[in-house]
């Protein structure tokens, strides 16, 4: 399709404005992390590496990163297992209520976080009588992390068809053998992509976390929110933010590469 010169200029400009809206503020954060100002004044009065040094000595920041990594890793692993199982059930078997279950599995990603948060908080504390802790955060994160795994895996299962699994069964492979030797190797890249997205989702989640984290459980987003307006902490927050942006690029880039090269060979 040919696009006229004018349209190209207009569309290019619009794209530029949108991308600038997203990325210029991020660049400001990067610049501010080297600013000598303690209250994020603009333009930065001077240049310093001091905040970067302080950030890596801040026990609060490092502890929060560790907590977030723990939560995200465990939530991702649990989501991978449960997401794969539910995908297999929904894609490979027919049973009563299958479509309903499918809808209920996907729904949490669309539910407002604040609703999920309040509901889980209520259920954990008043109904089940469980103390809020890192465990409750993980459970809460799994409810939506499962969706990214589920979506990736079920799409792959659909595309892969059943003939490879039938061939395995035909040659004498039982259910578990077939999964281990045939289905799982075919799912690997879908699991990696789904897992990376789940990790990213969990790592920066704040709303549900706020409602389900016990006292003393501070994930990184919560730490950032708590410290942003404290005197002398804002520049450190900037440093952490820059690190997070850099770290976030990696899983998204990898996930996209996998999705791009994602051709099921037949």
Partner 1 sequence: MQQEPIAVPAIRLTGLTKSFGSVNAVDGVDLDIAEGEFFSMLGPSGSGKTTVLRLIAGFEQPTAGTVQLRGRDVTGTAPFDRDVNTVFQDYALFPHMTVLENVAYGLRVRGVKKAERIARAQESLDAVRLSSYGARKPSELSGGQRQRVALARATVVKPKVLLLDEPLGALDLKLREQMQVELKELQRSLGITFIFVTHDQEEALTLSDRIAVFNNGKVVQLGTPTEIYERPTTSFVASFVGTSNIFDETLSKSLLGRGGTNSVRPERIALRGTPTAATSSAPGTIAELIYVGTSTRIVVDLDAGKRIIVLEQNSASDDATAPSDRRGERVHAEWASAAITPLDLP
Where do contacts with partner 1 occur on this chain (CB under 8 A)? 163-164, 166-174, 177, 181-182, 185-186, 264-266
Nearer to partner 1, 95 or 110 (CB): 95
> Which is nearer to partner 1, 5 or 266 (by Cβ)?
266
Write down the least CB distance from residue 257 to partner 1, Å.
19
- In DSSP terms, which residues pair with 47 in a beta bridge? 35
Residue with smaller CB distance to partner 1, 152 or 178: 178
Nearest distance, CB of residue 57 and partner 1, angstroms: 47
Nearest distance, CB of residue 258 and partner 1, angstroms = 15
CB of 261 to partner 1, least distance (A): 14
Residue 166 or 216 with smaller CB distance to partner 1: 166
Q: Which is nearer to partner 1, 12 or 185 (CB)?
A: 185
Q: How far is the CB of 170 from partner 1 (least distance, A)?
A: 5
CB of 165 to partner 1, least distance (A): 9
User: Cβ closer to partner 1: 60 or 185?
Assistant: 185
Residues contacting residue 90 through CB under 8 Å, at least 6 positions apart: 98, 101, 102, 105, 154
């Amino acid at each position: 399709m040919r696009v006229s010169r004018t349209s190209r200029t207009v569309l290019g400009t619009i794209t530029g404005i949108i991308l600038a809206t997203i990325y210029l503020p991020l660049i400001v954060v990067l610049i501010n992390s080297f600013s000598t100002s303690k209250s994020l004044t603009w333009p930065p009065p001077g240049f310093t590496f001091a905040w970067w040094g302080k950030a890596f000595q801040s026990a609060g920041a490092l502890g929060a990163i560790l907590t977030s990594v723990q939560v995200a890793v465990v939530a991702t692993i649990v989501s991978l297992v449960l997401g794969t199982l539910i995908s297999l059930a929904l894609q490979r078997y027919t049973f009563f209520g299958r479509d309903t279950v499918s809808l209920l599995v996907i729904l949490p990603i669309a539910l407002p976080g604040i609703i999920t948060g309040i509901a889980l908080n209520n259920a954990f504390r008043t109904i089940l009588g469980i103390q809020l802790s890192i465990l409750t955060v993980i459970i809460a994160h799994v409810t939506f992390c499962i969706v990214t795994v589920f979506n990736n895996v079920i799409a792959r299962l659909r595309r892969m068809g059943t003939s490879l699994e039938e061939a395995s069964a035909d040659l004498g492979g039982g259910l578990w053998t077939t999964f281990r030797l045939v289905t799982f190797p075919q799912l690997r890249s879908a699991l990696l992509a789904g897992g990376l997205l789940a990790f990213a989702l969990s790592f920066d989640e704040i709303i549900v976390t706020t409602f389900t984290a016990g006292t003393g459980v501070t994930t990184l987003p919560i730490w950032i929110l708590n410290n942003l307006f404290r005197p002398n902490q804002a520049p450190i927050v900037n440093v952490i933010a820059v690190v997070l942006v850099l770290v976030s690029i990696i899983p998204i880039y990898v996930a996209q590469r996998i999705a791009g090269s994602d051709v099921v060979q037949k």
